[in-house]
Structure 1
Amino acid sequence: MRTQLWFQILLIIGFYLILLGVNSTSASSHCQTEQQSVLIRLKKELHFDSLLSSKLVSWEPNAADCCTQVIGLDLSNETISGVIDDSSSLFRLESLETLNLAGNNFNSIPIPSGFGNLISLISCK
């Protein structure tokens, strides 16, 4: 009788822990609106050829797949041209650890001081 009672208690606790896990997972997978809106603003700021783009052209403002924090951004070979200045939305991605802008044309502009805002940046190309 006692074994049966312990089994029921363990079963209830296990079920409760599973429910807690499901709730915490769904809560943590919600988009962080700020990060999503920064990416959309960045896309609007950048000058690129949409016929030759493979990454930027596919960014959708209402996409279901979004992130809690942007930690990596690969914009290599996206035909980006012009200027990224200190007012760029890029510098609002403060959790950015890796950034790849290789293969674009920035017309030999000076490196913006806004990169100083990216304190988590480990790798930049």
Structure 2
Amino acid sequence: MRIGADLMHLAELDRLLTRTWFRAYAYAESELATASGFGPERRQEFLTGRFAGKEAVAKAIGTGFGRGVTPRQIAIERAGSGESRVVLTDAAAARAAALGVVAVQLSITHKADLVLAVALAIPSSA
């Protein structure tokens, strides 16, 4: 198993989130659609949490945002149970497959002005 974690301040992305290019680079359409239904404070919390989650997943698959892996290739959706569901595409999916990763578990938590995300990449041999 491989683990990745990321910690962010809620306001850390505020300036970037106002830029259309950053939203397109960092978030899947499904994530942006969900965020658009929230008020400003919840949207900030949601998008910062998703970005921290993407960072944690990228670390768990051993790339960070490099080697062709971009944040948008790591989508964090909500499963019917309410838990986070990680969907990898393109270079992120290829990297995970090369490592034998069959699933990625993710937990995101918010407290005061902090967001913490922890990802666990689970190999087929686990």
Question: Would you say same fold, with TM above 0.5?
Answer: no
Select the structure that is richer in strand. Answer: 2
Normalised by the length of structure 1, the TM-score is 0.30
Larger Rg: 1
**Normalising to structure 2: TM-score of the pair?**
0.30
